[in-house]
Structure 1
Amino acid sequence: MTIATQKLTLEEYLVYDNGTDTQYELIDGELVAMPPESDRNNLIALYLLTEFLKFVSIRLIRHKDTEIVVTGNRTRVRLPDLMILTEELLTALGGKRATITQDMPSPALVVEVVSPGKINEDRDYRYKRSEYAARGILEYWIIDPQKEQVTVLTLVDGFYEEALFQEDEIIISITFALIKLTAKQILTAGDNNPS
C-alpha cells in the first residue's frame, strides 16, 4: 500500500518515523508499506539462514533487517528477505544504520521469497531483477512457493543469467558452491506438514 504523501528524498526517507513499527520500501520517492510476510515465507527465509550459517559467519547474514538503496525512476530502497554481505560491505556499514547506500559495496547474495499475487510476482521477478543487476549483486535467488521453483540469477557482464530448479534438483550457486540444497528442501521448509 502506497502512503499518499509528497515525494521523499533518500535523506527524508532515512529519517522518516511515523511512530509505528511498519516497515516501508521507498519506491520512486513514495513510501510503500510492507505487509507482514506469511508464516511459510518467513520459515523458508529462516531455513535458508540456518543453512548459510553452516558456511558463512553470522556477522555477514541479514534477515529482513537491512535495506539496500537501488536505482529506479528515482531512488528506491528495498528490504530483501535474506542477504549475505561481503567483508568489505560489513566494514562499510560500520555498525551504523543497516542501510546499504550506493557508495557501499554490493552484497554477495540477495534472496527474495515471492508472496502470492501479480504485484508481488512483478516486483520480485521484474523490478528487483533489474535493480539488483544494476546494483551489481553477484547472485539473486527468487524462491517461489506458488510456482514451486527456485530461480538462481548469476550476474555476468552486467546482466543476470538464469537457472531454474524444481523438485529434487540441487541448487547450483557459483558464489556459494558449498550449499547443497534441493529446491524441494527449500520450498517445503515453510510447510505446516512437511513430507
Structure 2
Amino acid sequence: MLTQKLLSNRFTLEEYLNFSQVDSEKIYELENGQLREMPPESWQNTKIAMYLLMEIAKVISFERISLKTEIITSGNRVNARIPDLVVLSPEGLSEIELYKRAVVTLDMPPPVLVVEVVSPGKANRDKDYRYKRSEYAARGIEHYWIIDPQEQKFVCLQLQDGLYESEIHDVSSKMICFDRPFKLNLDCSQIFPV
C-alpha cells in the first residue's frame, strides 16, 4: 500500500517512470505530477472495453490493442493517463515493445485511437470530456472515443487542425460504422444493452 507521503509527492516524469513501488490492489494515474487513485472499474465498463477489443481485433492485429496502457501527456505538470483501451500505430507497437513497461512516452508515436468509458460522477465526467480531451488532442492522438453508459452515448472525436471534431451516436443508433482509423462496424446493442 502506498503511503500518504508518496501520494502527496510531486513526481517528475523521470521519477514516475522509474517508480517501482506498486500497489497490486489499486491503479494510479499521474495527474499534475501526483499519483491519483483510479476508482475500481464497473462490470459494465469492463464489458464495453472487452467488446471493443474483440471487434477491433477482427480488423487489425491484436498486438496493437491494449487495455490499461499508460499514455504520457504534457501540461503544466506531467500526466500519465490510463485509458480503458488503446490502439497503437505499427510504429508505436515497435517502440513500446522495446520499453520496460506498457507506456507510450512523449518521444513515441501517439496511439491512433484512445477509448475512455466514462465512470459515474462529475469528477470522472470532467476528466474524460474536458481534461483528457485537451490532453489527447495536444498529444496528437487522432481518434478519441468517449463512451458514456450513463448518458448512453458514444462520442467519436477526430483531430482536425489540432482540435477534436465530434460525432455523437446514442442508443437509438443500431450500428456505428467507421472508415477511420480502420474499417469497423459496432453493434450499439452490445455497447448499450436495452
The answer to whether the superposition gives a TM-score over 0.5 is: yes
1:184 to 171, 185, 189: 189
Distance 1:5 1:136 in 2: 30
Instruction: Report 1:22-61 matches (<5 A).
Output: 22-61=26-65
**TM score, norm. by length of structure 1:** 0.90
Superposed displacement of residue 145, structure 1: 0.3
Q: Is the 8 A contact 1:125 1:142 kept in 2?
A: yes
Contact 2:113 2:181 in 1 (8 A): no
Q: What letter corresponds to residue 80 of structure 2 in structure 1?
A: V
Structure 1 portions without partners, runs of 5+: 189-194
Cα distance between partner residues in 1 of 2:150 and 2:79: 26
Report whether the alignment pairs 1:163 with 2:167.
yes
Displacement after TM superposition at 1:171 (Å): 2.2
Equivalenced residues, count:
188
Which of residues 9, 18, 43 is equivalent to 2:21?
18
Residue 174 of structure 1, CA deviation: 4.3
Q: Output the amino acid matched with 1:17.
A: S
Structure-1 separation of matches of 2:109 and 2:17: 19
Distance 2:86 2:22 in 1: 27
Residue number in structure 1 paired with 2:84: 81
Match status 1:121 vs 2:98: no
Q: Contact 1:2–1:31 (CA<8 Å) still a contact in 2?
A: no
- Tell me which of the two structures has the higher relative contact order, counting C-alpha pairs closer than 8 angstroms and 6 or more residues apart: 1
In structure 2, C-alpha distance between the alignment counterparts of 1:88 and 1:31, rounded to whole Å: 29
The whole-number CA distance in structure 2 between the counterparts of 1:177 and 1:94 is 22
Q: Can you give the 5+ residue segments of structure 2 that lack an aligned partner in the other structure? A: none
Compute the displacement of 1:2 (Å): 11
Deviation at 1:121, TM superposition (A): 0.1
String of CA shifts for 1:42-80, please: whole Å, max 9, x gaps: 01100110111110101100012x100001221100001
Aligned partner of residue 94 in structure 1, secondary structure: helix
When the two chains are superposed, the root-mean-square deviation of aligned CA atoms in Å is 1.9
Asked if 1:175 corresponds to 2:171, the answer is no
The CA deviation string for residues 146-166 of structure 1, in whole angstroms up to 9 with x for no partner, is 000000000011100011001
Cα distance change, pair 129–105 in 1 and its aligned pair in 2 (3 A): same
Decide whether the 8 Å contact of 1:70 with 1:131 is kept in 2: yes
Runs of 4+ in 1 over 3 A off after TM superposition: 1-4
Q: Which residue of 1 aligns with 2:9?
A: 6
**Cα contact 1:152–1:173 (8 A) shared by 2:** no
Instruction: Indicate yes or no: 2:95 matched with 1:92.
Output: yes
